[in-house]
Amino acid sequence: MMRVLVVRLDSDGDVLLSGPAIRAIAGHPAEVTLLCGPAGAQAAALLPGVDHTIEWTCPWIAPDPGELRLDDMRELTERIAGARFDLAVVLTSAHQSCLPTALLLRTAGVPAIAGISTDYPGALLDVRLRPDIDFVDDTPEPERALALVNAAGFRLPPGDDGALRVRRIPEVSTLTGTGPYVVVHPGATVPARRWPAGRCAEAVRDLVEAGHRVLVTGGPTERVLTAAVAADAGTDLGGATSFAQLGGVLAGADAVVVGNTGPAHLAAAVETPVVSLFSPVVPAVRWAPYRVPTVLLGDQTAACRGTRARECPVPGHPCLSTVTARDVVAAVRAVRKKHSLKPQVVR
């Protein structure tokens, strides 16, 4: 069986968006190893088609990579060399270069490497796609990744529609209780993509007044935020779920109110509609929730548009601060689904 290394070195959301491309490779059939960063490992564990993972902090991808150490590079190249991969597929976003990773893989002896590169790759790539020449660059991230694996000779198997998908979702009724609910997820790793906490709290109160039961979710480091947002109106689940359990909570929701962050893509992977509080620091055409009913809120023409800023560069954070709780309630009404928990099990 062919042994393929797929590389996606950034966050959980990015890894989830790589899922359709990974399934195309796995259906070849092929044994797939995913090389991911620590910030993407939780999502990697949920992806259908991934047989093995290698976790590595990439110094040219991670936002806070620390010192570049030759010993770390040597350890990784030796591990890759020992695995004797037939092919490596380097998945990157439009603002990233695949060439440093391709150099590392070539040094490790990988005989064939595929990547998307505007820059001349020399001997580093065997399969190369060029944005806006070989494909339309301004496309959703899952389709960008699929374009590369298609060029490398892989296609999605019959019956696979190319949507986001996860391997398994745990039963979470002890966390969610019974009856319909809406999820509000106020946090985001990138501060520029967060709706102000005060507005989130207003939305929780207004959603409850509109007849919804509201669960507020967040990671272990976001407990103060989720407690403030839930206040006395919502149910605070901050720090109470693993990433897989969060998928279960999102799967059972009528709708999810969330910024441009990993849980938005996890919601898409479990087929739950999204009210997307989307800061235009990156293009919505590439990064909006994929193939689920979505209402996009936020000024997509704001001055921060396309800057990829991590901290808001405009005083007052106008792209999101102009969104009101009333806007969110109306958006939830527009996208919500009939309440039913539909775990996706992919064997």
Q: Say how far apart CA 143 and CA 150 lie, in whole Å.
A: 10
C-alpha distance from residue 283 to each of 65, 171, 245, 328 (Å) = 25, 34, 29, 21
* Neighbouring residues of 161: CB distance < 8 A, sequence distance ≥ 6: none
pLDDT tens, N- to C-terminus, the chain (347 residues): 999 999 999 999 999 999 999 999 999 999 999 999 999 999 999 999 999 999 999 999 998 888 888 899 999 999 999 999 999 999 999 889 999 999 999 999 999 999 999 999 999 999 999 998 887 778 999 999 999 999 999 999 999 999 999 998 999 999 999 999 999 999 999 999 999 999 999 999 999 999 999 999 999 999 999 999 999 999 999 999 999 999 999 999 999 999 999 999 999 999 999 999 999 999 999 999 999 999 999 999 999 999 999 998 888 899 999 999 999 999 999 998 654 444 443 32
What pLDDT score does 136 carry?
Answer: 79
If you ran DSSP here, which 8-state letter would residue 226 be given?
A: H
Q: What is the identity of the amino acid at 129?
A: L
In a 3-state reduction of DSSP, which class is residue 177?
coil
- Residues 86, 3 contacting (CB under 8 angstroms): yes
Ordered strands of the 127-129 beta sheet: 52-55, 30-36, 2-8, 87-90, 113-116, 127-129
Please spell the DSSP secondary structure of 324-345, one letter per residue. -HHHHHHHHHHH----------
What predicted TM-score, i.e. pTM, was given to this entire model?
0.95
* Strand, coil or helix: 240: coil
Tokens at residue 56, please? 């590595």
Give the pLDDT confidence score for residue 68 in this predicted structure.
86
pLDDT at position 174: 97
d(CA 197, CA 218): 13
Secondary structure percentages of the chain, helix, strand, coil, to 5: 35, 15, 50
Q: What is the pLDDT of residue 284?
A: 95
Output the six-digit token pair for 340. Answer: 């039913």
Beta strand pairing status for 182-185 and 52-55?
unpaired
CATH topology assigned to domain 2-151: Rossmann fold (3.40.50)
Q: Do domains 2-151 and 173-335 have the same CATH topology?
A: yes
CATH of domain 173-335: 3.40.50.2000
CA distance 240 to 221: 11
Sheet containing 214-218: give its strands across.
235-238, 214-218, 182-185, 256-259, 274-277, 294-297
Q: Cα(323)–Cα(294) distance, rounded to whole angstroms?
A: 16
Return the structure tokens found at 230.
């839930």
The tens digit of pLDDT for each residue in 211-226 reads 999 999 999 999 999 9
Tokens of 130: 């060029």
What burial letters (b/e) apply to 136-164, b meaning 16+ CB within 10 Å? ebebbbbbbbbbbbbbbebebeeeeebeb
* CA dist., res. 274 & res. 186, Å (int): 13
pLDDT tens digits along 117-174:
999 999 999 999 999 888 777 899 999 999 999 999 999 999 999 999 999 899 999 9
What is the domain partition of the chain in residue ranges? 2-151, 173-335
**Residue 201 near residue 268 (C-beta atoms within 8 A):** no
Following DSSP, what letter does each residue of 18-78 receive, concatenated?
THHHHHHHHTTTEEEEEEE-GGGHHHHTT-TT--EEEE---TTTSSS-----HHHHHHHHH
